[in-house]
Amino acid sequence: MSVLDLYKKEITKKLKEDFGYKNVMEIPKIQAVVINAGVGRGAKDSKELDDVIEGIKIITGQAPVKTKSKKSIAGFKLRDGMEIGTKVTLRGERMYEFLDRLINVALPRVRDFRGLKVGAFDGHGNYSVGIKDQAIFPEIPYDKFSHPFSLQINIVTSAKTDDEARKMLSYMGFPFKK
């Protein structure tokens, strides 16, 4: 059963019981998943940025957007407007398909994985996960990229509190630390 089917059939009922929602529209849901990758070396080497874009395209099935620096920082040899990273926003079917692969395939492949941090909620029901190596996704060919790159995954929910979002994500199968 996919994460979307699980949410529609079981999780909404559990959340309604747990928090006593009177209206179906009050039940929190995931609105978007934003995946960011900053490339420190990409400012000097455009091939590095192209590799990261290709990797994110393979992982998400959607073309990412290049992000540019907002101001110059001489210590980092960074100029205003340089391309320094990439991001992609997933919604709908692709979002739930990505979350399904993240929970059931990618996270169990992380070395010495003991669970996701519970403290990574932002106070408004949104959750952030940092992944140090893209190789945990099986669709990435291991020998294709010269350097590993890290990802920041932000899960945007409609939950009012962190407790509601934590409960919803744990029902979906997110492996939080005990």
Walk me through the domains of the chain, giving residue ranges and CATH numbers: 3-41+88-172 (3.30.1440.10)
Whole-angstrom CA distances from 14 to 18, 29, 36, 45 are: 6, 13, 32, 50
Give dist(CA 4, CA 98) in Å, integer.
Answer: 11
Phi/psi of residue 44, each to 5°?
-95, -35
Count of CA atoms in the C-beta half-sphere (13 A) of 28: 26
pLDDT greater at residue 61 or residue 77: 61
Check residue 43 and give its pLDDT: 58
Phi/psi of residue 146, each to 5°?
-75, -35
Average pLDDT over residues 48-54: 84
Lowest mean pLDDT across 66-70, 148-152, 172-176: 66-70
Count of CA atoms in the C-beta half-sphere (13 A) of 91: 3
Is the pLDDT score of 128 beyond 80? yes
pLDDT greater at residue 43 or residue 72: 72
Give dist(CA 52, CA 148) in Å, integer.
Answer: 9
pLDDT greater at residue 52 or residue 146: 52
- Identify the H or E element spanning 90: strand 83-90
Check residue 41 and give its pLDDT: 60
- Identify the H or E element spanning 57: helix 46-60
Average pLDDT over residues 9-32: 93
CB 131 within 8 A of CB 150: yes
Is the pLDDT score of 82 beyond 90? no
**Angle, nearest 10°, between helix axes 92-101 and 46-60?**
100
